[in-house]
A and B are shown apart, each in its own frame.
Chain A
Amino acid sequence: MIKLNPLTLKKIRRFKTIKRGYYAFIIFAVMISVSLFAELLINKRAIIVHFQGSYYFPTYGDIIPGTEFGLDYAYETNYRQLATQFKTEKSGNWVLMPPVPYDAFENDLKEDTYPPFPPSFTEQHYLGTDTVGRDMVARLVYGFRIAIFFSLALLVSTYIIGISIGCAMGFWGGLFDLFFQRIIEIWSNMPVLYVIIIIASIISPTFTILLLIMVFFSWTSMTWTMRTITYKEKTREYVLAAKVMGASNYRIIFKHIIPNTVAIIVTFAPFAVSSGIILITSLDYLGFGLPPPTPSWGDLLAQGWANMEAKWIASSVVAAMTLTLILVTFVGEAVREAFDPKLHTTYE
């Protein structure tokens, strides 16, 4: 655990007093943690099945074929059907289904009527279905999970690369700095979106590939800031003092400089998260993101646009996106305010 300096602790306390940002942060954190356990809440697999005296927990792990419950098929049990069957049989067997008994891939299709189906509480499609009969809630939540973890992973990896290179540039300066400045200038002039689109149209990208491509092109954003701060910090007395005491470059960078730049890095983070979400959503929208049938907001947006008459598609995904982005922005604002150096520095 990194020991936080008193100033940082003060900043965190300050952040907590900014209610709007603080609550937004809590809600956002809850959303993420809930999405981690989405399988228990939104799933076509039951949470618990009680069958002939024994208990089954099908949520995680391998599939349980229908034959296990005395059904006549060898593929995965349809738990919704099983639940109604057990109910009518009244043999003491029961099934506990999640609140939304659909997953993000299953096509719930009907006779003589065609998807998209409007929201219906009796069928437990609380936000209706998309154009192939998949539950909207499930698509939204699982899509959220993918988008948020994508953007977090993007954030972490670009920060690691950006901070190390930026820091090194600022710390060593000279030719190394000059060389990397030019590299970054060239690099950041590449039309990222087009490059991604070209690559994505040739290969059908997976989560990791897409992440790698994006990291490859977006690590530059942090370098400039880090370089500048490091330049500034490097000449401060405490760094000089550390040098005099014989501290290694490694120690100076990681023990002294980086902890002192956290404030600035952190203020950028929430906005980087929201831009990450927007990036993957727009790629999915254009059809160059994760391949179907991966649940994604971009895909839902595209469906919403192609099926304006099915209002529930566009409206729910737009609402979900707005909510998420507003929360992130509130957090970002509060962080920025809490970490505002003017509040913590006194000039003599």
Chain B
Amino acid sequence: MINKKLIKKITLIKAFSFLFIVSFICACGEDTQKSDTKETPAVETIDQTQKTYTREKLPGKIKWLTNTADPIFSSPDVKKGGIFRSSITAFPPTFRVVGPDSNSSFRSAILDNQLSLIGIHPNTENIIPELATHWAFGKDKKTMYFKLNKNARWSDGHSVTAEDFAFTLEFMRSKHIVAPWYNDYYTKEIDRVIIYDDYTLAVVVTKAQPDLHLRAGMSPMPKHFYGTLDATFVRKYNWEIVPNTGPYQVSDFKKGKYVKFKRKKDWWAKDLHYFKNRYNVDTVTFNVVRDSNILWEYFKKAKTDVFGITIPKYWHEKTKTPVVKNGYVHKIWFFNDTQQSAQGLWLNQDKEIFKDRNVRYAFSHAMNIQKVIKKILRNDYSRLEHGFMGYGRYSNTNIRARRFDLKQVDYYMKKSGWKRGPDGIWIKNGQRFSVDVSYHFDEHSPRLVVLKEEAKKAGIDLRLQKLDQSAWYKKVVEKKHDVAWVGWSTSLRPQYWEHFHSINAHKPQTNNITNTDDSEMDTLIDAFRNSLDEEKRIVLSKKIQAKIHEIGSFVPTFRVPYVRQAYWKWWHLPDIPGTKHTGDLFDPFSSATGGLFWYDEELHKETKAAMKKSIKFEPVTIIDKTYKR
């Protein structure tokens, strides 16, 4: 998959999938099938005659670039081998990565094994080679040239050729994949692929781009495997193992139970500069464990190798357990420096009550986030000031989230003509200020009940609505919520269009879950999307963030600029355990940050023997602040 994947590689999703909620990064919609052509990025606007590729002669003056000069972040001491046992909370509804039900969090495990033309270095953010060895930028800022690595192979042995990239466009534009978002993206954003020879190609985007490489560095689909698509696609490929180019491939699975990945014995990229000494374990198993308490018990019995303990209760309390105290399990607190998930309360402005800006402001001031951080989260988390923190120069550092303030609540509510009812809750024309807060993660209940009690003081009644994850997801993307408790995954650059552009408002299955519909905002976002000048984009980005704050339909909650994990003693990490963008130190696949850890068989045996004889080791807690700001 295209840029989305490229960007996605350095997202937080995986580490936080346990902690946070969402993993629908580019779910910009599966709708728009039959809407107004003018208004929407609809499917029917696709020009079916648009060519997916042309064959041309390579222009003469091309300045080829490559990059083998950036620092390597893997360790030279690695050993190969071992089984890494991880877990997933639900079995994926399909192995497809496009089409209905494909947007589950497991998708990243499959996508991460699909290399792109180029990657992004997780520390320097420079372009690094993946499937391409060299690349070059066209002067039009629309064309990017690539030279493929001639050794690049699909997992079934076929070479990766320029044809596969041309096919990707055909694939993504096909209506048979039932993925309007991709149909639209690969039509409106990617113009065509130019094939010069089997191993040289160019990707042409439709509009000149400031970050051209994020769009053009696409990931191929195996043409020899799919052949011609037809209407049976969705069903036919539900459980097919599609050839890939990454280090691992699915080797075995049992629906509802587990998925196994095996390392390719002779992976074509294993000795490449940035892939050397990575992806060390032979087998990665994802077992389905539906409950995090049970998973914790599994972990303590060494039935799973790593456990995320970012949540304060785990880091401080639950890890006071013999396996940690006796040094069999190590704890690590690793600070990263990456985009922060926009997590918080998203107010649905299509609901009558939230149409009034004063009410939205009052709602923000009624959320005692500070108290939750202080009294429940042990001051381990920080307040998220707005939805786009950690995007470097693109972040507006002047915005400060609205703090809990009863006087402000009073001011705004009275301004809109509300009065306190007999039960202390605001009331206007018979309507009480009582709203549903939809969430799905049990661990978040303590935070919400505190917010609820505090909001009562401010005269707002929160009705907590805990739903099953898929029911919650459906409710939110169908915009049926009052207030949604959501944390989004992140991208390299802020994604405003999908969350705040009016094109995505008032219709289901888009990410504009606040139904923000503001012409000024649209102008800003369009300008941001169309601008080629980085400086201008930065200015616009900051303006948009200020505008989001002004609209007040998002109440930011927490920021967690680190990851904390517990792992069994026989796993090793490099001296600097991760990268700036690492969200999970034990991510087995990610081409940007993953596969750095390795297994130590002797230490495993030694530890097992020690446990049997009750020999204790010194407890180990690593705190790594290399990238701490």
A residues with a Cβ closer than 8 A to B are 62-63, 65, 73-76, 105-107, 109-110, 114-115, 131-134, 201-202, 204, 287, 291-293, 305-306, 309
Given known contacts A62-B423, A63-B423, A75-B406, A306 and B446 CB-to-CB distance under 8 angstroms: no
A306 to B466, CA, bound (A): 18
A63 to B426, CA, bound (A): 13
Give a binary string over B464-481; 1 marks a CB under 8 Å from any A CB, 0 the rest.
111110010000000000
User: Contacts of B453 on A, CB cut-off 8 Å?
Assistant: 105-107
A293 to B436, CA, bound (A): 13
Can you report 19 residue pairs joining A to B where beta carbons are below 8 Å apart?
Answer: A62-B422, A62-B423, A65-B424, A73-B406, A74-B406, A105-B449, A106-B453, A107-B450, A109-B371, A109-B375, A114-B317, A115-B376, A131-B446, A134-B449, A291-B464, A293-B452, A293-B464, A306-B293, A309-B317
Give a binary string over B369-398; 1 marks a CB under 8 Å from any A CB, 0 the rest.
001000110100000000000000000000
Please give the number of chain B residues whose Cβ is less than 8 angstroms from any Cβ of chain A in the complex: 35
A292 to B447, CA, bound (A): 12
Chain A to chain B: the 5 pairs with minimum beta-carbon distance, closest first: A201-B468, A62-B422, A75-B457, A109-B375, A204-B465
Q: Which one of A76, A114, A292 lies within 8 Å of B449 (CB-CB)?
A: A292
User: Contacts of A62 on B, CB cut-off 8 Å?
Assistant: 422-424
A76 to B459, CA, bound (A): 10
User: Contacts of B332 on A, CB cut-off 8 Å?
Assistant: none
Min distance, Cβ B628 to any Cβ of chain A, angstroms: 24
User: Contacts of B507 on A, CB cut-off 8 Å?
Assistant: none
A73 to B454, CA, bound (A): 13
Min distance, Cβ B322 to any Cβ of chain A, angstroms: 12
Q: Is the Cβ of B448 less than 8 Å from the Cβ of A204?
A: no
User: Contacts of A105 on B, CB cut-off 8 Å?
Assistant: 449, 452-453
**B442 contacts the other chain (Cβ, under 8 Å)?**
yes
Q: Is the Cβ of B293 less than 8 Å from the Cβ of A287?
A: no
Given known contacts A62-B422, A105-B453, A287-B442, A292 and B406 CB-to-CB distance under 8 angstroms: no
Q: Is the Cβ of A305 less than 8 Å from the Cβ of B450?
A: no
User: Contacts of A292 on B, CB cut-off 8 Å?
Assistant: 445, 448-449, 464, 466
Q: Is the Cβ of A109 less than 8 Å from the Cβ of B468?
A: no
Given known contacts A109-B375, A114-B378, A63 and B449 CB-to-CB distance under 8 angstroms: no
Given known contacts A132-B450, A287-B442, A75 and B459 CB-to-CB distance under 8 angstroms: yes
| Given contact pairs A75-B459, A114-B376, A114-B378, a sample of 7 additional A-B residue pairs in the complex whose CB atoms are under 8 Å apart | A63-B423, A107-B449, A131-B446, A132-B449, A202-B468, A293-B452, A305-B293
Q: Is the Cβ of B456 less than 8 Å from the Cβ of A76?
A: yes
User: Contacts of A293 on B, CB cut-off 8 Å?
Assistant: 445, 449, 452, 464
A109 to B378, CA, bound (A): 12
User: Contacts of B316 on A, CB cut-off 8 Å?
Assistant: 114
**B420 contacts the other chain (Cβ, under 8 Å)?**
yes
Min distance, Cβ A101 to any Cβ of chain B, angstroms: 16
User: Contacts of B464 on A, CB cut-off 8 Å?
Assistant: 291-293
User: Contacts of A114 on B, CB cut-off 8 Å?
Assistant: 312, 316-317, 375-376, 378
User: Contacts of B317 on A, CB cut-off 8 Å?
Assistant: 114, 309
Min distance, Cβ A285 to any Cβ of chain B, angstroms: 12
Min distance, Cβ B377 to any Cβ of chain A, angstroms: 9
Given known contacts A62-B422, A74-B406, A291 and B465 CB-to-CB distance under 8 angstroms: yes
A232 to B424, CA, bound (A): 59
A133 to B371, CA, bound (A): 13
A305 to B450, CA, bound (A): 21
Min distance, Cβ A187 to any Cβ of chain B, angstroms: 25
Min distance, Cβ A63 to any Cβ of chain B, angstroms: 4
Min distance, Cβ B105 to any Cβ of chain A, angstroms: 18
Q: Identify which of residues 282-305 in chain B touch chain A, using a CB-to-CB cut-off of 8 Å.
A: 293
A328 to B449, CA, bound (A): 33
- Considering the complex, give the chain B residue whose CB is closest to the CB of A64: B424
**B410 contacts the other chain (Cβ, under 8 Å)?**
yes
A107 to B375, CA, bound (A): 10
Q: Is the Cβ of B446 less than 8 Å from the Cβ of A204?
A: no
User: Contacts of A204 on B, CB cut-off 8 Å?
Assistant: 436, 465-467
A62 to B448, CA, bound (A): 24
Given known contacts A76-B456, A106-B453, A109-B375, A63 and B422 CB-to-CB distance under 8 angstroms: yes
**B458 contacts the other chain (Cβ, under 8 Å)?**
yes
User: Contacts of B424 on A, CB cut-off 8 Å?
Assistant: 62-63, 65, 75-76
Q: Identify which of residues 456-502 in chain B touch chain A, using a CB-to-CB cut-off of 8 Å.
A: 456-459, 463-468, 471
Min distance, Cβ B447 to any Cβ of chain A, angstroms: 9
A305 to B297, CA, bound (A): 11
Q: Is the Cβ of A287 less than 8 Å from the Cβ of B466?
A: yes
User: Contacts of B452 on A, CB cut-off 8 Å?
Assistant: 105, 293
Min distance, Cβ B241 to any Cβ of chain A, angstroms: 31
